[in-house]
C-alpha cells in the first residue's frame, strides 16, 4: 500500500476546539467558492457526489493559505523585475 506524504508547503490549520479525527477519504473537487465577509472569508467546498461544507476563515488563516499556495506553485513571481523589463 502506497503512503501519502504531506508536502512541507502545506500548513495544517486547526481550531483550538478541533478534535483528532481519522483522515477523510480523498475525493475530487466539484465546487469551490470564496466570499469575503465582515470577519474574514467564507469558503464553500464540495466533492463529487458529496455534501457541501462552508468554512469561515480569518484574515490570518487566509494569509497562510495564500502563502502555502504560492509555495506549492513555485513561489511568488518578481513583479518589480517584470516592470523594469517593460521600460526598455
d(CA 34, CA 14): 19
CA-CA distances (angstroms) from residue 67 to 10, 45, 70?
9, 20, 5
Q: Which carries the bigger pLDDT value, residue 13 or residue 27?
A: 27
For residue 1, what pLDDT is reported?
47
pLDDT at 79: 56
Q: Which residues touch 27 (CB under 8 Å, ≥6 apart)?
A: 47, 48, 49, 50
pLDDT for 37 equals: 94
Report the alpha-carbon distance of residue 67 to residue 61 in Å, rounded. Answer: 10
Q: What is the pLDDT of residue 15?
A: 58
pLDDT one-digit tens code per residue, 27-75: 899 999 999 999 999 999 999 988 899 999 999 999 999 999 999 998 7
Q: Where are the alpha helices (DSSP H) in 1-88?
A: 59-72, 79-87
Amino acid at each position: 500500500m502506497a503512503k501519502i506524504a504531506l508536502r512541507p508547503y502545506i500548513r495544517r490549520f486547526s481550531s483550538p476546539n478541533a478534535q483528532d479525527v481519522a483522515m477523510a477519504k480523498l475525493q475530487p473537487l466539484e465546487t469551490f467558492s470564496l466570499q469575503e465577509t465582515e470577519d474574514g472569508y467564507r469558503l464553500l467546498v464540495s466533492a463529487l457526489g458529496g455534501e457541501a461544507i462552508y468554512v469561515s476563515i480569518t484574515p490570518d488563516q487566509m494569509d497562510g493559505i495564500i502563502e502555502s499556495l504560492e509555495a506549492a506553485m513555485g513561489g511568488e513571481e518578481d513583479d518589480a523585475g517584470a516592470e523594469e523589463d517593460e521600460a526598455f
